[in-house]
Structure 1
Amino acid sequence: MYSEPVKDYLEKYANNNIESLQDLNKTLFATINDQNVRSTIIQEFYVIRQTYKYFEGMRAGGSLQEAEAKLQVISYMSIIEYALDYYLQNEYKNSRRISEHTDIPKKLIPVEKSLNKEFVEILRAKIENAYAPQNEQINNKKYQVYAKFDDEILTKDENWRKVKFEAKIKMIQDILDDTDPKAKSNVHKRQKRKDERHKFFDELTRLVYFRNDVHLAHQSRHGESVQLDHSKKAYRAVKQFSNLMDEFLKQDPL
């Protein structure tokens, strides 16, 4: 157990070198209207910043620094995914990009050319009954059914959890490309903004990889481990994602 002077030093160091809760309430994800969601995000962000400063105040190195980096990457990426879920489930729930990324191939059934039309129609009816609602494609060689998630996917956690983090990132990237509030500006400036967004989302996808890397099996397979630099990138990614969403929704709310 730390002595009282050391404990006091660490607490002061941690609390005096991070944004206050009041400041975070003014700036972080200001366009999240659900106060429970936003409060959870702000509190989690504040706690992980405090924890980082505790490690920094101790001048943590070696295995302690590795543990610090892993903890931060997990926490910051959890914040981003939680905020991302909110935006996709609420602000953009009617976007066509949602259905584009949640239509999943369910069956691929070979159909010989020699099969007559009547048999194909029977097969079609059986699959329709089993997998409706659906989009269908059929020809003489194959019959593939795309079965959507349940219509209420965005209100059913058990279904939404089937969507990978990387797919959610691609959804929001496509949605923001479609809804740029400055779409009528100079074409070169518009393309520059788009390129910057894509660069950010590429980096975010890379951070998902390192979030997964906290699992020893994943780390062993790929021979990479989470470094302190990754945790700093994850911290900056929270801020950048917050600013990006606020920029879009404050100017062009849906």
Structure 2
Amino acid sequence: MPLSKNVKDEIYNYCNNHLADESWYEDEFEFIEDADLRKRLIEEFKSIRFAYKLYEGLEAKDENLIFEVRYQILAYASIYEAVIHYVLYNYYQKTTEFHNMQYHIVPTRMSFSETQMTAVKNVLSKPNEVLYIYHKQERKKEETQVRFDEKCKAAEALGLIYKITNEQGDIIDIPAEIIEVYSYRNAIHLVAEQRKGIQYALDLSKKAYRRMRPFIDQIKDRLKQDKKGIYK
């Protein structure tokens, strides 16, 4: 049975009361020129904040708190990933940092004629020993093989994201903390009795939200410096 209109109105008013208007979200993700992706990012960000206010108002506990925390981490991790991927693959494809992210060095077996192999075996191998010769070769990864931490490190090398110092003089390692948020998204503790795990996840969800501000600002500042996208 649905809630009464008065109750629903009160809930929506509470959740939307301190949230930004539509223009703020458009300005926030203005550097995403793909309209569909920008719309999806805005929707995701708005839903995160709405859900946070809802669970905050309910003073969620135990399994409900775990669910809320897990959703927060999953959603913020998705935004971080989508933004970094878009920026790297659309604006920095021709850079050394992008190339190093996409390629890795792998051992590759070399082919020789039978005469050549016989000569090599006579010098290097022991009797009845099978000998193979390899050399190091640069090979491009499949796009799905490029890990998120590698994308973050490429973004850091390009100056898109970097460490900052807060007002208290503490160093905040933005790239490392974003990697931590992303790596933890599938490791949320689901058992209410694991209080230490729940507290850690709760702290991490708050960190995921707080780092979004400098993360977006740093990327926009770098794009402006490099005159990329809408900042040409």
* TM-score bracket relative to the smaller structure: 0.7 to 0.9
- The alpha-carbon deviation at position 33 of structure 1 amounts to 1.9
Counterpart for residue 55 of structure 1: 55
In the alignment, structure 1 segments of 5+ residues that lack a partner are: 121-139, 150-158, 178-192
In the alignment, structure 2 segments of 5+ residues that lack a partner are: 119-131, 166-171
Aligned residue runs from structure 1 range 222-237, under 5 A: 224-225=197-198, 227-237=201-211
**Structure whose alpha-carbon radius of gyration is higher:** 2
State how far apart, in whole Å, the 1-side matches of 2:34 and 2:115 are.
54
Q: Deviations over 1:103-143 (max 9, x none)?
A: 224435599xxx999449xxxxxxxxxxxxxxxxxxx9752
Counterpart for residue 7 of structure 1: 8
Indicate the RMSD between aligned Cα atoms, in angstroms.
Answer: 3.1
Counterpart for residue 162 of structure 1: 145
Matching of residue 250 in structure 1 with residue 224 in structure 2: yes
Match of 1:206 among 171, 180, 184: 180
Matching of residue 84 in structure 1 with residue 84 in structure 2: yes
Aligned residue runs from structure 1 range 1-254, under 5 A: 1-26=2-27, 28-107=28-107, 109=109, 118-119=116-117, 142-149=134-141, 159-176=142-159, 195-196=163-164, 199-214=173-188, 224-225=197-198, 227-254=201-228
Q: Check whether the contact 1:213–1:224 (CA below 8 A) recurs between aligned residues.
A: no
State the number of aligned residues: 202
Counterpart for residue 130 of structure 1: none
- The alpha-carbon deviation at position 6 of structure 1 amounts to 2.9
**CA 1:108–1:98 in 2, change beyond 3 Å: closer, same or farther?**
same
Q: Check whether the contact 1:102–1:163 (CA below 8 A) recurs between aligned residues.
A: yes
**CA 1:24–1:195 in 2, change beyond 3 Å: closer, same or farther?**
closer
Counterpart for residue 188 of structure 1: none
TM-score by length of 2: 0.75
State how far apart, in whole Å, the 1-side matches of 2:225 and 2:108 are.
44
Q: Check whether the contact 2:149–2:179 (CA below 8 A) recurs between aligned residues.
A: yes
State how far apart, in whole Å, the 1-side matches of 2:114 and 2:164 are.
54
Q: Check whether the contact 1:107–1:145 (CA below 8 A) recurs between aligned residues.
A: yes
Q: Check whether the contact 1:69–1:228 (CA below 8 A) recurs between aligned residues.
A: yes
Bigger shift: 199-208 or 70-79? 199-208
Three-state SS of the structure 1 residue aligned to 2:136 is strand
Q: Check whether the contact 1:29–1:243 (CA below 8 A) recurs between aligned residues.
A: no
- The alpha-carbon deviation at position 227 of structure 1 amounts to 2.3
- The alpha-carbon deviation at position 224 of structure 1 amounts to 4.1
TM-score by length of 1: 0.69
State how far apart, in whole Å, the 1-side matches of 2:91 and 2:150 are.
17
**CA 1:200–1:12 in 2, change beyond 3 Å: closer, same or farther?**
same
Q: Deviations over 1:21-56 (max 9, x none)?
A: 222112x13222222221211111011111111111
- The alpha-carbon deviation at position 3 of structure 1 amounts to 4.1
**CA 1:145–1:15 in 2, change beyond 3 Å: closer, same or farther?**
same
Counterpart for residue 127 of structure 2: none
Three-state SS of the structure 2 residue aligned to 1:227 is helix
State how far apart, in whole Å, the 2-side matches of 1:79 and 1:194 are.
18
Instruction: Please tell me the residue identity of whatever aligns with 1:47.
Output: S
Instruction: Please tell me the residue identity of whatever aligns with 2:12.
Output: E
State how far apart, in whole Å, the 1-side matches of 2:163 and 2:216 are.
18
Q: Check whether the contact 1:97–1:171 (CA below 8 A) recurs between aligned residues.
A: yes
- The alpha-carbon deviation at position 5 of structure 1 amounts to 3.3
State how far apart, in whole Å, the 2-side matches of 1:25 and 1:60 are.
31
Three-state SS of the structure 1 residue aligned to 2:159 is helix
Q: Which has the higher contact order (CA 8 A, sep 6+)?
A: 1
- The alpha-carbon deviation at position 89 of structure 1 amounts to 0.7
**CA 1:145–1:40 in 2, change beyond 3 Å: closer, same or farther?**
same
